[in-house]
Amino acid sequence: TGTTTPKDQQYRIVLLGKTGGGKSSAGNTIFGQDDVFLSDSSSTSSTQKCKAHTKNIKGRNITLIDTPGFFDTDIPEEELKPKIVKCITECAPGPHAFLIVLKVERYTVHENEAIAKIKTYFSPEAFKYATVLFTHGDQLNGLTVEKFVQQNADLNKLVEKCGGRYHVIDNKYWNTNQQGRYSNQYQVAELLNTIEKMVRDNGGGFYTNEMLQEAESLIQAEIEGLRKELKGQMSEEEMRKQAKKRARKKLLIKWSGIATGAVIGALFGVILAIMIPLSFATQPLINLVKSQIAASMTIGPAAAAELAGPVLTLESGVGVGSGIGAGVGIAAGVVVGMAAAAGGVRGGIVGATAAEEAETVQEAAEEAANAVFEDAKGLYHKAENIFTRFSKSK
């Protein structure tokens, strides 16, 4: 948990939810404006980008970070990575609150899958900083919001995870002139009070993790560089904006090196475990991976499995699938699985180091692939020598 001082009265709030759930409209409603965020219906999620806007509301500096497509279960992981990095740099060093935006409608397994991504991208602790915000409140059709929540066991569990915090707005019919509990004016005021209380209950701090801390360290380093370079010719606000852009690029490059290294490292771990002749197995794999890098910004688990499958099956009869550890699942027993996991960890470290000097994401992936290849060659020859000596001693 990060800390902030009371005098700041600054709140970074991340809007989370599926496309079409009303995140952008909710942001507009909170700010009391119609055009701050582009609504989901105005653009497809694949072309939208994470946006952050700040406004002072009754003495509070509220920064809302919209995350279009972030929770859509049908978007490939490769397309999500730039959005995740943008979100992380925008809310660094960490958000004070997550708003989980859900429509007033039937809560299904698809919503549950989307909520599960909070654990994937952040951690279970994030729910301590979360509030559920229902949109399309007119569809309650006479029900109280409390009754609506209680009707669904999974939805009720989600609200409990969020400390019982939830509010409801309507982006279309509940105008600010309405009176009473079910009006946007009332609900937004109560929502901000809930967030303020939640921050106090969390010790006045914000949610943070290693990724967010790394992003903030990069941003601060870039700000210092700009301060020396420009000598007062740029405002602090503009310097932070520029620093975020530079930090975002560095994070994407590093993540690309880690992802590429982990995937290829896992595959080479299998090669070492079953002692496939390296000259046969690795060069076709490297060539295939390089061709994939040219067509894609990063290598995901499914793509890696697809690339590696023909190579490993051809050489050893081992079938490859996705889903184990951080990248690749190998249906070849515990030993091979452990080798894949160990290779993935080592490959990720080697890949991250190799990517440090890269200027682009593609270059980072190339450098990571080559570095892991060279590392695997050295390990393979060591293993081969040990195996030969052991055979002779028999």
- 64-113, pLDDT tens digit by residue? 999 877 777 677 766 777 888 888 999 999 999 999 999 999 898 888 88
Query: 250 vs 15, 85, 106, 117, 360, CA distance in Å?
Result: 24, 10, 41, 24, 9
Under the banding of pLDDT at 50, 70 and 90, the label for residue 124 is very high
- 31-63, pLDDT tens digit by residue? 988 888 876 555 454 446 788 999 999 889 999
- 149-164, pLDDT tens digit by residue? 999 999 999 999 999 9
Q: Which amino acid is at 324?
A: I
| Rounded Cα distance, 242 and 220, in Å | 11
Residues 338, 270 contacting (CB under 8 angstroms) = no
Alpha helices in the chain (DSSP H): 23-31, 77-91, 109-121, 145-150, 153-161, 184-201, 210-230, 236-274, 278-295, 301-316, 333-355, 361-393
Q: What is the pTM of this model?
A: 0.72
Most confident of 46-55, 162-171, 256-265, 285-294: 162-171
pLDDT at 337 over 60: no
Name residues whose C-beta falls within 8 Å of residue 121's C-beta, 6 or more positions apart in sequence: 70, 84
Q: What are the residues facing 320 on neighbouring strands?
A: 330
Neighbouring C-beta atoms of residue 242, cutoff 10 Å: 16
Domains of the chain and CATH, by start: 2-207 (3.40.50.300), 253-393 (no CATH)
Q: What percent of the chain has pLDDT over 70?
A: 60
| Rounded Cα distance, 298 and 292, in Å | 9
The residue ranking higher by pLDDT, 321 or 142, is 142
- 170-212, pLDDT tens digit by residue? 877 776 556 678 888 899 999 999 999 999 999 999 999 988 9
- Average pLDDT on 118-128 reads 90
The CA R_g of the chain, rounded to the nearest whole Å, is 24
Q: What is the pLDDT of residue 121?
A: 83
For Cα atoms 2, 231, 360, give the angle at the middle one, nearest 5 degrees: 65
Lowest mean pLDDT across 168-172, 176-180, 287-291, 358-362: 287-291
Q: What is the pLDDT of residue 127?
A: 96
Chain mean pLDDT for the chain? 75
Q: What is the pLDDT of residue 341?
A: 63
| Nearest residue to 241 (alpha-carbon basis) of 254, 222, 228 | 222
Q: What is the pLDDT of residue 81?
A: 75
How would DSSP label each residue in 194-220?
Answer: HHHHHHHHTTTEE---HHHHHHHHHHH
The residue ranking higher by pLDDT, 363 or 4, is 363
Neighbouring C-beta atoms of residue 278, cutoff 10 Å: 19
For Cα atoms 271, 273, 274, give the angle at the middle one, nearest 5 degrees: 70
For Cα atoms 296, 300, 304, give the angle at the middle one, nearest 5 degrees: 95
pLDDT at 385 over 90: no
Q: What is the pLDDT of residue 142?
A: 84
The residue ranking higher by pLDDT, 388 or 280, is 388
| Nearest residue to 257 (alpha-carbon basis) of 313, 202, 315, 299 | 299
* The pair of three-digit structure tokens given for residue 279, joined into one six-digit string: 């000259």
| Rounded Cα distance, 239 and 366, in Å | 31
- 204-244, pLDDT tens digit by residue? 999 999 889 999 999 999 999 999 998 888 899 899 999 99
Q: What is the pLDDT of residue 30?
A: 94
How would DSSP label each residue in 347-378?
Answer: HHHHHHHHHTT-SSHHHHHHHHHHHHHHHHHH
